A and B are shown apart, each in its own frame.
Chain A
Amino acid sequence: NAGVTQTPKFRILKIGQSMTLQCTQDMNHNYMYWYRQDPGMGLKLIYYSVGAGITDKGEVPNGYNVSRSTTEDFPLRLELAAPSQTSVYFCASSYLGGRDHEQFFGPGTRLTVL
Protein backbone atom coordinates (compact mmCIF):
# COMPACT_ATOMS: atom_id res chain seq x y z
CA ASN A 1 0.00 0.00 0.00
CA ALA A 2 1.98 3.01 -1.28
CA GLY A 3 -0.60 5.65 -0.25
CA VAL A 4 -0.36 8.85 -2.31
CA THR A 5 2.48 9.04 -4.80
CA GLN A 6 3.56 12.08 -6.81
CA THR A 7 5.88 12.47 -9.76
CA PRO A 8 8.20 14.15 -10.44
CA LYS A 9 9.85 15.08 -7.13
CA PHE A 10 11.57 18.14 -8.62
CA ARG A 11 11.21 20.09 -11.84
CA ILE A 12 12.58 23.29 -13.31
CA LEU A 13 10.50 24.91 -16.03
CA LYS A 14 11.12 27.88 -18.26
CA ILE A 15 8.51 30.62 -18.48
CA GLY A 16 5.80 29.63 -20.94
CA GLN A 17 6.46 25.89 -20.80
CA SER A 18 3.75 23.42 -19.80
CA MET A 19 3.85 20.29 -17.66
CA THR A 20 1.68 17.78 -15.86
CA LEU A 21 2.17 16.84 -12.22
CA GLN A 22 1.10 13.27 -11.63
CA CYS A 23 -0.75 12.01 -8.55
CA THR A 24 -1.89 8.46 -7.83
CA GLN A 25 -3.48 6.93 -4.74
CA ASP A 26 -4.06 3.24 -4.06
CA MET A 27 -6.45 3.57 -1.11
CA ASN A 28 -9.65 3.72 -3.21
CA HIS A 29 -10.36 7.20 -1.86
CA ASN A 30 -13.12 9.14 -3.56
CA TYR A 31 -11.85 12.64 -2.69
CA MET A 32 -8.61 14.00 -4.11
CA TYR A 33 -7.02 17.44 -3.81
CA TRP A 34 -4.21 19.59 -5.12
CA TYR A 35 -2.57 22.17 -2.86
CA ARG A 36 0.32 24.53 -3.30
CA GLN A 37 2.55 25.59 -0.41
CA ASP A 38 4.56 28.79 -0.61
CA PRO A 39 7.05 29.80 2.11
CA GLY A 40 5.21 31.34 5.06
CA MET A 41 1.85 31.04 3.34
CA GLY A 42 0.46 27.66 4.41
CA LEU A 43 -1.34 25.38 1.97
CA LYS A 44 -3.79 26.76 -0.56
CA LEU A 45 -6.33 24.52 -2.32
CA ILE A 46 -6.03 24.63 -6.11
CA TYR A 47 -8.58 22.04 -7.27
CA TYR A 48 -10.36 19.10 -5.76
CA SER A 49 -12.42 16.14 -6.96
CA VAL A 50 -15.20 14.21 -5.24
CA GLY A 51 -14.99 11.28 -7.64
CA ALA A 52 -14.09 10.20 -11.16
CA GLY A 53 -15.36 12.73 -13.69
CA ILE A 54 -16.13 15.42 -11.08
CA THR A 55 -13.78 18.30 -10.32
CA ASP A 56 -14.17 21.76 -8.83
CA LYS A 57 -12.09 24.86 -8.21
CA GLY A 58 -10.46 25.66 -4.92
CA GLU A 59 -9.05 28.94 -3.68
CA VAL A 60 -6.29 29.48 -6.28
CA PRO A 61 -7.22 27.71 -9.58
CA ASN A 62 -5.95 30.25 -12.12
CA GLY A 63 -3.23 28.88 -14.39
CA TYR A 64 -4.04 25.24 -13.64
CA ASN A 65 -6.28 22.50 -14.98
CA VAL A 66 -7.23 19.08 -13.69
CA SER A 67 -9.00 15.95 -14.83
CA ARG A 68 -10.15 12.82 -12.99
CA SER A 69 -10.80 9.94 -15.35
CA THR A 70 -10.16 7.20 -12.77
CA THR A 71 -10.51 6.87 -9.00
CA GLU A 72 -6.75 6.46 -8.62
CA ASP A 73 -5.33 9.35 -10.69
CA PHE A 74 -5.66 13.11 -10.41
CA PRO A 75 -3.14 14.93 -12.65
CA LEU A 76 -2.56 18.69 -12.41
CA ARG A 77 -1.76 20.52 -15.62
CA LEU A 78 0.19 23.78 -15.73
CA GLU A 79 -0.20 25.71 -18.97
CA LEU A 80 2.15 28.60 -19.81
CA ALA A 81 4.19 28.41 -16.62
CA ALA A 82 4.89 31.69 -14.79
CA PRO A 83 7.39 32.51 -11.99
CA SER A 84 4.39 32.94 -9.64
CA GLN A 85 3.79 29.20 -9.96
CA THR A 86 7.11 28.42 -8.29
CA SER A 87 5.98 26.44 -5.26
CA VAL A 88 5.75 23.02 -3.64
CA TYR A 89 2.69 21.11 -4.85
CA PHE A 90 0.99 18.50 -2.70
CA CYS A 91 -1.64 16.02 -3.75
CA ALA A 92 -3.91 14.55 -1.08
CA SER A 93 -6.78 12.11 -0.86
CA SER A 94 -9.51 11.24 1.63
CA TYR A 95 -12.49 8.97 2.01
CA LEU A 96 -16.02 10.18 2.62
CA GLY A 97 -16.84 8.82 6.04
CA GLY A 98 -13.21 8.15 6.82
CA ARG A 99 -11.89 8.51 10.36
CA ASP A 100 -11.49 12.16 11.39
CA HIS A 101 -11.98 13.26 7.78
CA GLU A 102 -8.23 12.67 7.46
CA GLN A 103 -6.53 13.80 4.29
CA PHE A 104 -3.49 11.77 3.28
CA PHE A 105 -0.76 13.76 1.58
CA GLY A 106 1.84 12.78 -0.98
CA PRO A 107 5.52 13.75 -0.64
CA GLY A 108 5.20 16.82 -2.85
CA THR A 109 6.64 18.13 -6.12
CA ARG A 110 9.05 21.08 -5.94
CA LEU A 111 8.57 23.25 -9.01
CA THR A 112 10.73 26.20 -10.01
CA VAL A 113 9.78 28.42 -12.95
CA LEU A 114 12.63 30.55 -14.30
Chain B
Amino acid sequence: QKEVEQDPGPLSVPEGAIVSLNCTYSNSAFQYFMWYRQYSRKGPELLMYTYSSGNKEDGRFTAQVDKSSKYISLFIRDSQPSDSATYLCAMSGGNTGFQKLVFGTGTRLLVSP
Protein backbone atom coordinates (compact mmCIF):
# COMPACT_ATOMS: atom_id res chain seq x y z
CA GLN B 1 0.00 0.00 0.00
CA LYS B 2 1.33 3.43 -0.96
CA GLU B 3 1.73 5.91 1.87
CA VAL B 4 -0.27 8.52 -0.06
CA GLU B 5 -2.87 7.60 -2.71
CA GLN B 6 -4.15 10.02 -5.33
CA ASP B 7 -6.22 9.38 -8.46
CA PRO B 8 -4.06 10.39 -11.45
CA GLY B 9 -7.00 11.48 -13.61
CA PRO B 10 -7.22 13.19 -15.98
CA LEU B 11 -10.27 14.98 -14.65
CA SER B 12 -12.06 16.99 -17.35
CA VAL B 13 -14.64 19.62 -16.38
CA PRO B 14 -16.32 22.58 -18.09
CA GLU B 15 -15.49 26.12 -17.07
CA GLY B 16 -17.42 27.19 -13.98
CA ALA B 17 -17.70 23.69 -12.51
CA ILE B 18 -16.84 22.82 -8.92
CA VAL B 19 -13.85 20.52 -8.79
CA SER B 20 -13.08 18.06 -6.02
CA LEU B 21 -9.60 16.55 -5.71
CA ASN B 22 -8.76 14.01 -3.05
CA CYS B 23 -5.98 12.06 -1.38
CA THR B 24 -5.95 9.29 1.17
CA TYR B 25 -3.00 8.40 3.36
CA SER B 26 -1.96 5.65 5.72
CA ASN B 27 0.48 7.34 8.14
CA SER B 28 -1.50 8.64 11.11
CA ALA B 29 1.51 10.72 12.22
CA PHE B 30 1.11 13.18 9.34
CA GLN B 31 0.19 16.63 10.65
CA TYR B 32 1.02 19.01 7.80
CA PHE B 33 -1.03 18.82 4.61
CA MET B 34 -0.37 20.72 1.43
CA TRP B 35 -1.62 21.06 -2.11
CA TYR B 36 0.86 22.00 -4.79
CA ARG B 37 -0.11 23.05 -8.32
CA GLN B 38 2.17 22.15 -11.20
CA TYR B 39 1.75 23.58 -14.68
CA SER B 40 3.12 21.61 -17.61
CA ARG B 41 6.93 21.59 -17.69
CA LYS B 42 7.17 23.78 -14.60
CA GLY B 43 8.09 23.20 -10.96
CA PRO B 44 5.34 22.74 -8.35
CA GLU B 45 4.14 25.77 -6.41
CA LEU B 46 2.37 25.78 -3.05
CA LEU B 47 -1.37 26.40 -3.33
CA MET B 48 -2.81 25.54 0.07
CA TYR B 49 -1.45 24.52 3.48
CA THR B 50 -3.34 23.08 6.44
CA TYR B 51 -2.07 22.04 9.82
CA SER B 52 -3.90 19.09 11.42
CA SER B 53 -7.65 18.74 10.82
CA GLY B 54 -10.10 21.34 9.58
CA ASN B 55 -10.86 23.58 6.66
CA LYS B 56 -9.00 26.44 5.07
CA GLU B 57 -10.34 28.76 2.41
CA ASP B 58 -8.43 31.03 0.05
CA GLY B 59 -10.46 32.67 -2.68
CA ARG B 60 -11.90 29.97 -4.94
CA PHE B 61 -9.91 27.23 -3.19
CA THR B 62 -10.88 25.27 -0.06
CA ALA B 63 -8.72 22.62 1.57
CA GLN B 64 -10.21 20.08 3.98
CA VAL B 65 -8.44 17.59 6.22
CA ASP B 66 -10.19 14.72 7.98
CA LYS B 67 -7.53 13.00 10.08
CA SER B 68 -9.98 10.45 11.47
CA SER B 69 -10.56 9.14 7.94
CA LYS B 70 -7.02 9.91 6.71
CA TYR B 71 -8.54 11.86 3.83
CA ILE B 72 -7.79 15.29 2.43
CA SER B 73 -9.61 17.28 -0.24
CA LEU B 74 -9.14 20.34 -2.38
CA PHE B 75 -12.22 22.08 -3.78
CA ILE B 76 -12.03 24.59 -6.61
CA ARG B 77 -15.11 26.75 -7.16
CA ASP B 78 -15.93 28.45 -10.46
CA SER B 79 -13.10 26.60 -12.18
CA GLN B 80 -11.24 28.47 -14.93
CA PRO B 81 -9.19 27.23 -17.91
CA SER B 82 -6.16 28.70 -16.12
CA ASP B 83 -6.74 26.10 -13.37
CA SER B 84 -5.75 23.36 -15.84
CA ALA B 85 -2.68 21.80 -14.21
CA THR B 86 -1.58 18.82 -12.16
CA TYR B 87 -2.49 19.04 -8.48
CA LEU B 88 -0.21 17.22 -6.05
CA CYS B 89 -1.11 16.55 -2.47
CA ALA B 90 1.80 16.43 -0.02
CA MET B 91 2.06 15.75 3.65
CA SER B 92 4.60 15.47 6.44
CA GLY B 93 5.02 15.07 10.16
CA GLY B 94 5.76 12.49 12.79
CA ASN B 95 9.20 10.95 12.93
CA THR B 96 9.99 11.96 9.34
CA GLY B 97 9.91 15.62 10.35
CA PHE B 98 7.77 18.39 8.95
CA GLN B 99 10.12 19.23 6.07
CA LYS B 100 10.33 15.77 4.48
CA LEU B 101 7.28 15.77 2.24
CA VAL B 102 5.55 12.66 0.93
CA PHE B 103 3.77 13.43 -2.33
CA GLY B 104 0.81 11.84 -4.03
CA THR B 105 1.13 10.96 -7.70
CA GLY B 106 -0.81 14.07 -8.77
CA THR B 107 -4.21 14.54 -10.45
CA ARG B 108 -4.25 16.16 -13.87
CA LEU B 109 -7.13 18.64 -14.21
CA LEU B 110 -8.41 19.95 -17.54
CA VAL B 111 -10.90 22.83 -17.52
CA SER B 112 -12.44 23.47 -20.90
CA PRO B 113 -13.83 26.90 -21.90
Counting contact residues on chain B (CB < 8 A from A), the size range is 20 to 34
> Is B57 among interface residues, defined by CB-CB distance under 8 A?
no
Q: Is A13 an interface residue (CB 8 A)?
A: no
Q: Which residue, of B43, B45, B104, B106, has the highest number of chain A Cβ atoms within 10 A?
A: B43
List which B59-102 residues lie within 8 A (CB) of chain A.
88, 90, 92, 98-101
Residues on B facing A (Cβ under 8 Å): 4, 6, 8, 32, 34, 41-46, 49, 88, 90, 92, 98-101, 103-106
User: Can you report 30 A-B residue pairs in the complex whose CB atoms are below 8 A from each other?
Assistant: A42-B4, A42-B6, A42-B88, A42-B103, A42-B105, A42-B106, A43-B44, A43-B88, A43-B103, A45-B100, A48-B99, A48-B100, A50-B99, A58-B100, A90-B44, A92-B43, A94-B99, A96-B99, A100-B34, A100-B46, A101-B92, A101-B98, A102-B46, A102-B49, A103-B46, A103-B99, A105-B43, A105-B44, A107-B43, A108-B42
